[in-house]
Amino acid sequence: MALQIGSVLEEAGYRLFSRTGAILLAAFFALMIGFQTLFNTILATTYARMGYGEIAAALPLTLDIPLSVAGAGIAIGSVVSLYLTIVSFRTFAAGARDSFPTGALTRNVPLAMVNVFVGGIVYSLLVFIGSVLLLIPGIFAYVAFIFMMPYVIVDDRNFVAALKESYRLTEGNRLALFGLLLIVGTAAALVGGVIGFVGALALSGPTSQLPTIVIQPLASLYGTAVVAVAFEQLRESTGMPPSAPSEDDTTTTAL
């Protein structure tokens, strides 16, 4: 069965705007505020050391902490962000709107993090190399391996098996997937750009960055829901539930 783009977009919104979606959004909002504050702190400290005190003083949302502490905070926040991404994929793929599915918060989290991190690097390299050679191979790699993360997170695959499974699952639907991702990416860029621009003009001081802090987690989480729903839809079209292993690769959580 071909990917149903309209159905995916609608169902992703339905799963996002739910009790579990609201909890995840709140967590990502808090994380985004922390990231923005720490990033601004690093910029302000750097500008001050370079002699640009006026620019440093004009930056909103800063803390009086050493650069090393701010850097450590960003590193910790990155780990928390990865954890929330794992929980988000498991929740959206299961269609859980009222409560988080069993194991979503705790099942094989460390190994999932490692596989997502390493697999993400490999995935990014494939897209980058393809884009350097020619744009089309980069786009192909981006679409063909888009389900690497859901396979790791939802099915507990290692990243190698996940890349193989994603390549197989996207066969026959890559053009539709490209269209789906293009719609979501373009809409997020337009909405984010307009809201950020209007917010910068209408607001001042620390509140000027509030629209960006709000829209980025929302757009990112909706994108996660879209990929999770598309993953589930294509898996179901093959007659295999999202958690079931294929005949070629057994489920594993090891690298």
Reported as a single tens digit per residue, the pLDDT across 38-58 is 999 999 999 999 988 888 888
- Indicate whether 248 belongs to any domain: no
pTM of the model: 0.86
Q: What is the dihedral of CA 80, 86, 92, 94, to 10 degrees?
A: -140
Tell me the helix, strand and coil percentages in the chain, rounded to 5.
75, 0, 25
The reply to whether 71 falls in a domain is: yes
Q: How far apart are CA 201 and CA 195, in angstroms?
A: 10
Domain annotation covers residue 253: no
Q: What is the pLDDT of residue 6?
A: 94
Rounded to whole angstroms, how far apart are CA atoms 31 and 80?
A: 8
Q: For the chain, what is the mean pLDDT?
A: 89
Residue 103 lies in a domain: yes
255 within domain boundaries = no
Q: Number of structural domains, the chain?
A: 1
pLDDT tops 50 at residue 244: no
Q: Give the confidence band of 247 by pLDDT, cuts at 50, 70, 90.
A: very low
Higher pLDDT: 210 or 173? It is 173
Asked if the structure places residue 252 within a domain, the reply is: no
> Is residue 246 included in any domain, yes or no?
no
User: CA–CA distance from 211 to each of 17, 66, 195, 205 (Å)?
Assistant: 19, 27, 6, 13
| Domain membership flag for residue 55 | yes
Containing structural domain, residue 51: 5-237
pLDDT of residue 205: 64
